[in-house]
Structure 1
Amino acid sequence: MSDTTAAAAPETSPPSTASTTTTSPSQIRILTLNCWGLKYIAKHRAARLTEIGRRLALASPPPEIVGLQECWTQADYESIRQQTRHILPYGKFYFGGIWGAGLAILSKWPIEESSMYGYPLNGRPTAFFRGDWYVGKGVACARVRLGAGRHEVAEVFCTHLHAPYEREPNDSYICHRTAQAWEIAKLMRGAAERGHLVIGLGDFNMLPASFAHQLIQAHSPVRDAWQVVHPDSSVGAAIDPVEQQRGRPVPSAEFNITVNGATCDGRFNTWRWSKEEQKRLLKKGEEVEVDKDAPCPRGKRLDYIFVGDGGVGAPHKWSVQEVTLSMMERHPTLRCSLSDHFAVEARIVRSSEQEATTTEAPGDTAAAAAAAAAPAAPNTALTPETYDLIIAMIHKYVQRERSQRRWRIAHFVASVFVSIGCMVGVWWTGDHLPYVAFILLFVSTLNFGAGILDGLIGGLFMSSELRALKEFEWEVRNAKQIAEAAGGEGESKRME
């Protein structure tokens, strides 16, 4: 890990008016938002992110731990930071990759330690038009001191997983996203084993029915906050086969917001409107109303808050009390949505506080009662068959990358011989046919440049990727052996 607290100390220091409290909180409000802050690409970026900061500052009740994704420029972060200092006096902007990590964490309580963990597997440099490899995606980690007690610590993990460009299981990047889910699950499990409150948040670029979602909850003691409160919510967009198999009617725009938690591609988000509707709104200034009862077949949930309680020596347990979507307001002058995603906001409470709330409010809804009774972490484990599925996925991807590496290295070797042939041709024709010599020189330069690029990708990047895949496979096989051994011991005890 890198980018530790020593380097971040000036940024995380609170203003002089802030006072550090030793009283442990009985509840915490958490918020995560993909800001869509791509420099030069995202429309009205500066105005939107400035408004996001203003909305956070005016929120009532205010969030106490905030995770931001796609906040690429430090100027945008500083704008948000300046506006929210009175409620979130501590913050960290994370650096990583060639173009930055786009991650930031804000907190009401002191950030004791900070690190940026880059994912070993994170896209390909050849997909420059997608950019996942260049932005250095990873996990922004912050250790937040909630109180004076030894275990009064929340470990916050903010991330943005590799984007899906095809539907599972045909997504060519599913192995990368699975490896990333495995890595953040390891980090969260380690925090839980230290007896700390675990908060994982971000744009995970996965559906609730995806393999990565299953992996995170099974490989670390955390729960999806939205599913705790809305256990029957959708597992994908209405147009996705996995959701169609449930036989549910196409949800309305309002239902997708209130029950399904659709943070992306819903009808209420102006950035998902047709070009004609956006033109009417942004250029002509016409007000375009959304029918809350209209069908919303594409709305889906990509943003999550995962919560878990260590339970190892910790004096209290935490539970999810409520979860909602927020940051749905439009920009006051532009009239567009603040981002192409909506925020997810959750309130978690200590067990003692939660039990009191349940006792005093017997008329709560069934969903709220279920949320109050649900523990923060299920402590489940993957089955041996699931481990085999991951290993098969790794092997399939390894075969693809080895084939790609052979072709790229072969291209490099061929380009050397082609360039030599062109140079020989220049030598023979230079005096008599200068234009032919120029063409040969031009072809040689382009050919050799492309060959070197392919040679570097095949010889360096893909070799590094294949080694990371070997590490990933070893971890999965090792975890499988441990799970099988534990299962065998359990079976022996039952037989006795």
Structure 2
Amino acid sequence: MQPQAPVQLRIFDLNCWALRFLSKKRKERLASIGQLLSQQCYELALLQEVWSDKDYGELRDRLLDAFPYAHRFKSGVIGSGLCVFSRFPIIDCLQYQFSLNGFPYMVNHGDWFCGKAVGLVKLQAYGFLCHVYITHLHAEYCRENDCYQSHRILQSWELAQFIRHTSSNSEVVVLAGDLNMHPGDLGVKLVCEWTGLKDSYMECTEYEGPPDGCTLLPSNPFTDPQELKNFPQGIRIDYIMYKSDPGIAVSCQQVTTGSQSSISGTLLSDHEIVTATLRLQRIPGVSNVNSESLPSVLSPIFSSCCTELYTGLQTAERWSTVCQYLVIMFLLLLVLQFSTSFLSALGFECNIFPPILLTLLFLFLSSASLVLHTAEKRQLQSVIEQISLVQHRHE
């Protein structure tokens, strides 16, 4: 049998930066994104940070002709912000919300409220069963002192595990999204090596765009200058990755990274658009062979991940201990306050403590923080044990 004729799968990926009331020129930019997608010939469009139901509905209506099928993943308080638009029917979908994603008291960062997750849609594209994953990991706010490193490593592990355990019957796997990690970072290495995914930028035959495929550029007026103060050329944190069964030949013909402007000249986002053109071809007579052997490069990656997770675990244990002491202290203070209230009722004046309501408030906050950091500790311990089990199993 002769191999089937190859087909092209064109993929569009963009972090839209569409947070209501905070993102500048949000409506204008989303309208321009919808106009751009309706005029281009992409088979898949994977968007992040489309937080508003109304914004998604307007995009859905605008793109109905170009992308008849779509799905939006909802999680957390304000949603995951993840949505997929497809020219092919979506057969099935699934979502997994990461078990750790920052802290609710870090309101200025806001990741906890977003419910960061990975979404999966299954579809038949030109006769190929494709599993398309979209994700957005926790942001990196300070590279020199990154207090969320352990959370992002945990998310990378859960992302890789989710892909491994849900893609076994797929022919083509695509992952796109904002990983909030540089190409050489530990989490990116973990995802690529543990899942077998290939970075389209590294594999492409032809590339067009900024040097090194950067998707956050200092020249973009929406980009925070502080975020790129140590990276004058910009950074690459948005990815399109892929892999296939042995019976399917997949190659990346072209990757483009760059900006598009609206009619008024406004850029579409603080991130650059990433597109990839994949060439798919079925090769008859090639069987699917599953190998459980662990690549040698993974063992040091696993060890490094456990080291980072241990660091996060130690921090979580410290905070948990502090919260325990605070809870005990406020409980004792509450007992003293009730005692003085009783003495005051008997005619003794001893009003030397703050109001009881204030103590109850601090007791509640301390108890909530204790629960939060205890749960964080348990989740980090769980992932460390998972990685260690896999590593020792293959040694």
TM tier, smaller: 0.7 to 0.9
Question: TM-score with structure 2 length normalisation?
Answer: 0.87
Maintained 8 Å contact 2:333/2:359: yes
3-state DSSP class of the match of 1:323? strand
In the TM superposition, residue 103 of structure 1 has moved relative to its aligned partner by 0.6
Deviation at 1:95, TM superposition (A): 0.7
Name the SS of the counterpart of 2:248 in structure 1.
coil
1:383 aligned to 2:305?
Answer: no
The equivalent position to 2:115 in structure 1, one of 130, 136, 140, is: 136
State the SS of the aligned residue for 1:462. Answer: helix
- How many residue pairs match? The answer is 378
SS at match of 2:202: helix
Larger RCO (CA within 8 A; separation ≥ 6): 2
Whether 1:461 aligns to 2:372 is yes
Give a deviation string over 1:326-371, Cα, whole Å, max 9, x none: 4x122223x3211111110000002479xxxxxxxxxxxxxxxxxx
TM-score (norm: length of structure 1): 0.70
Call closer, same or farther: CA 1:147–1:321 in 2, change over 3 Å: closer
Aligned counterpart, 1:158 = 134
Does residue 310 of structure 2 align to residue 329 of structure 1?
no
1:29 aligns with 2:10: yes
| 1:271 equivalent in structure 2 | 222
Match of 1:213 among 162, 184, 188: 188
Q: Is residue 301 of structure 1 aligned with residue 282 of structure 2?
A: no
**Bigger share in helix:** 1
Question: Is 1:449 the counterpart of 2:361 in the alignment?
Answer: yes
1:80 aligns with 2:31: no
**What do the CA deviations read for 1:253-289 (whole angstroms, capped 9, x no partner)?**
xx9x33322111331x221388xxxxxxxxxxxxxxx
Larger strand fraction of residues: 2
User: Residue 147 and residue 40 in structure 1: after superposition, are their counterparts in 2 closer, same or farther (change >3 A)?
Assistant: same
For residue 147 of structure 1, report the CA deviation from its aligned partner: 4.7
- Is the contact between residue 226 and residue 323 of structure 1 (CA under 8 Å) also seen in structure 2? yes
C-alpha deviations, 1:48-76, integer Å up to 9, x for none? 212211111112xx111111111000111
Secondary structure in 2 matching 1:106: strand
Opposite residue 334 of structure 2, the aligned amino acid is S
- The question of 1:108 aligning with 2:84 is answered no
- Please say if 1:475 is aligned against 2:386: yes
Instruction: Output the amino acid matched with 1:87.
Output: A
Unaligned runs of at least 5 residues, structure 1: 1-22, 234-254, 275-295, 354-378, 485-496
Identity of aligned residues (%): 26
CA distance in 2, matches of 1:273, 1:474: 37
Which residue does 1:410 correspond to in 2? 325
CA distance in structure 2 between the partners assigned to 1:332 and 1:416 by the alignment = 61
Instruction: Give structure 2 stretches of 5+ with no counterpart.
Output: 226-230, 284-293
* Deviation of 1:154 (Å): 0.9
Residues 116, 136 of structure 2: 8 Å contact kept:
yes
Q: Secondary structure at the match of 1:409?
A: helix
Tell whether the 8 Å contact from 1:92 to 1:105 is kept in structure 2 after alignment.
Answer: yes
The match for 2:176 among 174, 195, 201 is 201
- Of structures 1 and 2, the larger Rg is shown by 1
Alpha-carbon separation, structure 1, partners of 2:353 and 2:86: 61
Q: Distance in 2 between matches of 1:71 and 1:172?
A: 26
Matches within 5 A, 1:2-13: none
**Equivalent position to 1:117, from 77, 82, 96:** 96
- Answer yes or no: is 1:317 the counterpart of 2:249: yes
Query: Given that residues 28 and 64 in structure 1 are in contact (C-alpha distance below 8 angstroms), is that contact kept between their aligned partners in structure 2?
Result: yes
Distance, in Å, in 1 between the alignment partners of 2:218 and 2:277 is: 24
CA distance 1:87–1:24, change in 2 (3 Å):
farther
